[in-house]
Amino acid sequence: MITALVLGFFNFSIYYYLTVNSIYLLLLVTAYFSIREHKKTTQLIDSLKNRAPVFAPPISILAPAFNEEKSIVDSARSFLKLAYPRFEILIINDGSKDETLSRLIQEFRLEKVTLPHDPMISKTEIRGTYRSPVHPNLVVIDKANGGKADALNVGISYASHDLLCNVDSDSVLEEEALFKVAIPFIRDPERTIASGGTIRVINGCTVKRSTITKVALPRAPIALAQVVEYTRAFLCGRVGWNAFNATLVISGAFGLFKKS
């Protein structure tokens, strides 16, 4: 009986390994053609930059933050550097217990203001809302802790635009990120409800003035394994499924959604 169980487990492991890796191989092939097709959007992005105010829909960036004092300023500056004509940045301080809010107030000279919002979306206590006189499109919402989902709901209640870009507050976005993720909405605004971008691990990269100046691999073995996994999951997995019109999930770290 023990021999039969061991052989059964051994056979199952082989079939499982062959099946999973065959699927990954198929996704790798389809991802190649999908990425090759996606490269054609470069000309569209260049065209949009010249005629962006007419064709590019305005976007509200929602960035929930909880105890992010070490990275929040760099992330906010990377958001402000985005090459996009009309967008606002809503950083939602989700009851942080560190200096997240004070660092934002000091760095961007935030002033307390009263802003309209929909109180039906979230009942969480709002402690204050702030706007930067230097960067009028930067808004900070200070609220009681309620978790990331609740912070996003509060951000939605204050958002001015019909497209919402959800990002992690410790993310650094490429300059053309909003253009790239908005293209599906520009091509088919009626049927498109969400689009996502590729997430990469920043470990090992060089960041200067909130901009990635050099892409490199980390030295730590665990971080290296994470880079491999992210590459497989995004450039092979999600891009491969996208070729079949079968996107499984939009990453919470960077995704664009219709507000409705």
What is the pLDDT at residue 99? Answer: 93
* 77/103 Cα distance (integer angstroms): 13
What is the pTM for the complete model shown? 0.83
User: Tokens 């908005």 label which residue?
Assistant: 182
Asked if the model's pLDDT at residue 38 lies above 80, the reply is no
What is the pLDDT at residue 144? Answer: 94
Query: Which one-letter amino acid corresponds to residue 68?
Result: E
Asked if the model's pLDDT at residue 259 lies above 90, the reply is yes
Q: How confident is the model at residue 236 (pLDDT cuts 50, 70, 90)?
A: confident
Selection from 60, 243, 78, 225 nearest residue 155 by Cα:
60
Output the CA torsion sign for 126, 87, 203, 234: positive
What is the pLDDT at residue 47? Answer: 67
Asked if the model's pLDDT at residue 52 lies above 80, the reply is no
Q: How confident is the model at residue 46 (pLDDT cuts 50, 70, 90)?
A: low
Q: How confident is the model at residue 210 (pLDDT cuts 50, 70, 90)?
A: low
pLDDT in tens, 144-159: 999 999 999 999 999 9
Tell me what the mean pLDDT of segment 76-92 comes to. Answer: 92
What is the pLDDT at residue 154? Answer: 96
Q: Reduced to 3 states, what is the DSSP secondary structure of residue 24?
A: helix
Q: Are 64 and 151 in contact (CB under 8 A)?
A: yes
What is the pLDDT at residue 100? Answer: 94
Selection from 63, 67, 64 nearest residue 96 by Cα:
67
- DSSP designation for 252: T
Angle between helices 100-108 and 72-80 (to 10 degrees): 40
* 230/68 Cα distance (integer angstroms): 23
* 171/78 Cα distance (integer angstroms): 9
Summary mean pLDDT of the chain: 88
What is the pLDDT at residue 216? Answer: 85
CA 233 to chain centre: 15
Asked if the model's pLDDT at residue 37 lies above 80, the reply is no
Residues sharing a CB contact under 8 Å with residue 252, sequence separation 6 or more, in sequence order: 148, 166, 168
In the chain, the percentage of residues whose pLDDT exceeds 70 is 93
The region of weakest confidence among 41-55, 61-75, 222-236 is 41-55
CA distances from residue 93 to 136, 142, 156, 222, 249 in whole angstroms, order as listed: 18, 5, 14, 30, 26
In the chain, the percentage of residues whose pLDDT exceeds 90 is 46
Query: Within a 13 Å sphere around the CA of 39, how many CA atoms are in the beta-carbon half?
Result: 5
Alpha helix (H) residue ranges in 2-98: 2-38, 41-55, 72-80
